[in-house]
Chains A and B, each alone.
Chain A
Amino acid sequence: MLDTIRRLVDEQGRLSKAATAIGDDADLYAAGLTSFAAVQLMLALEETFDVEFPDHMLNRRSFSSISAIAGCLHELKGEEAA
Chain B
Amino acid sequence: MNAPLDRGADVVTTAARHADDVDRNGRFPIEAVRALKDARLLSLLIPVEFGGGGASLFDVAEICTSLGQRCASTAMIFAMHQIKVSSLVAHGRGSAWHEDFMRRLCDEQLLLGSATTEGGIGGNMRNSICAFERDGATFRIAKEGALISYGAYSDAILVTARRAADAPPSDQQMAVLEKSQYRLERTGGWDALGMRGTCSEGFTFSGEAPVEQIFTHDFAEIASESMLATAHLLWSAVWFGVASDALSRAQSFVRKDARRHPNGPAPGALRLAEATAKLQLMRSNIVEGLKRFAKAQQNEDDLNSMSFAVAMNNIKIGSSQLSIEIINHALLIAGIAGYKNDTPFSVGRHMRDALSAQVMISNDRIFTNLSNMLLAQRIDQRLGE
Contacts and interface: CB of A to CB of B under 8 A. Distances in A.
B306 A55 contact: yes
A48 B94 CA distance: 43
A59 B169 CA distance: 21
Interface residues on A, range: 20 to 34
A73 B83 CA distance: 37
Contact of B376 (A16, A30, A39, A60): A39
User: Which residue among A31, A35, A43 has the maximum number of chain B CB atoms within 10 Å of its CB?
Assistant: A35
A60 B372 contact: no
Interface in A3-61: 15-16, 29-36, 39, 42-43, 53, 55-56, 58-61
Interface string B358-385: 0000000000010011011110000000
Given A55-B307, A58-B307, A30 B171 contact: yes
Given A29-B218, A31-B168, A61 B304 contact: yes
B170 A32 contact: yes
Given A15-B168, A35-B369, A61-B304, 20 more contacts: A16-B167, A29-B170, A30-B171, A30-B218, A31-B171, A32-B169, A32-B171, A33-B170, A34-B126, A39-B372, A39-B373, A39-B375, A53-B376, A55-B306, A55-B307, A58-B305, A59-B301, A59-B304, A60-B304, A61-B301
B168 A16 contact: yes
What are the nearest 8 A-B pairs in CB distance?
A32-B168, A58-B306, A16-B168, A60-B304, A59-B305, A59-B304, A34-B170, A39-B372
Contacts of B301: 56, 59, 61
Nearest to A37: B170
Interface of A: 15-16, 29-36, 39, 42-43, 53, 55-56, 58-61
A36 B305 contact: no
Contacts of A60: 220, 224, 304
Contacts of B218: 29-30
A43 B253 CA distance: 54
A31 B162 CA distance: 12
A29 B171 contact: yes
A36 to B, nearest CB: 5
B376 A43 contact: yes
Nearest to B171: A30
Contacts of A56: 301, 305
15 contacts: A30-B167, A30-B171, A31-B168, A32-B170, A32-B171, A35-B309, A36-B369, A42-B376, A43-B376, A55-B307, A56-B301, A58-B307, A58-B376, A60-B220, A61-B301
Interface string B185-224: 0000000000000000000000000000000001010001
Contacts of B220: 29, 60
Contact of B377 (A32, A36, A58): A58
